[in-house]
């Protein structure tokens, strides 16, 4: 059985910031702090992963780096262009089918992560099942039918409280 964790990157410098290309936007200090709190909350749940795959964009890559650091699994971190914002949910779903890990986290962007969540659980990208917030996490597991079931979805604020 495959366990899949979708993690939306943390709060980044706003889109349209003068002098900064959208692809180059980093996390803010607040974004880094909140990702770290969520990751520490995940650690307290006993989360075990075989791989963390991230979009190569700075805001997602830094998010994944913080998660991997908090879980002491930096050696399991990789990036893949399939998780770039312009990828569609079907492309990511098809890529997931090629992966051999049974416990994998992907770190990326919206709308494609929220659309992926809908696609994996309902077979369609619309309507959106839930809009993942920044630093939001969804845990899914596959079932014999080939679709996924939602184990849990958490607001960042809730899981951050576990880190206290």
pLDDT tens string, the chain, 164 residues long: the values are 699 999 999 999 998 888 889 899 999 999 999 999 999 999 999 999 999 999 999 999 999 999 999 999 999 999 999 999 999 999 999 999 999 999 999 999 999 999 999 999 999 999 898 999 999 999 999 988 888 999 999 888 877 877 77
Confidence at residue 150, expressed as pLDDT on a 0 to 100 scale: 95
Confidence at residue 161, expressed as pLDDT on a 0 to 100 scale: 77
Confidence at residue 123, expressed as pLDDT on a 0 to 100 scale: 93
Length of the chain: 164
CA distance 162 to 159: 5
Confidence at residue 148, expressed as pLDDT on a 0 to 100 scale: 95
Domain 3-162 fold = Rossmann fold (3.40.50)
């Amino acid at each position: 059985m495959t366990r899949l964790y979708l993690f939306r990157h943390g709060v980044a410098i706003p889109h349209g910031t003068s002098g900064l290309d959208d692809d180059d936007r980093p996390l803010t200090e607040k974004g880094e702090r909140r990702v770290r709190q969520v990751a520490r909350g995940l650690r307290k749940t006993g989360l075990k992963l075989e791989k963390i795959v991230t979009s190569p964009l700075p805001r997602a890559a830094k998010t994944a780096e913080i998660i991997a650091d908090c879980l002491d699994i930096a050696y399991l971190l990789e990036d893949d262009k399939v998780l770039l914002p312009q990828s569609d949910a079907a492309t990511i779903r098809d890529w997931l089918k090629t992966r051999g890990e049974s416990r994998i986290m992907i770190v990326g962007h919206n709308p494609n992560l929220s659309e992926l969540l809908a696609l994996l659980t309902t077979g369609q990208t619309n309507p959106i099942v839930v809009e993942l917030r920044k630093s939001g996490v969804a845990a899914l597991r596959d079932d014999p039918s080939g679709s996924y079931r939602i184990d849990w979805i958490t607001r960042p604020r809730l899981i951050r409280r576990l880190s206290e």
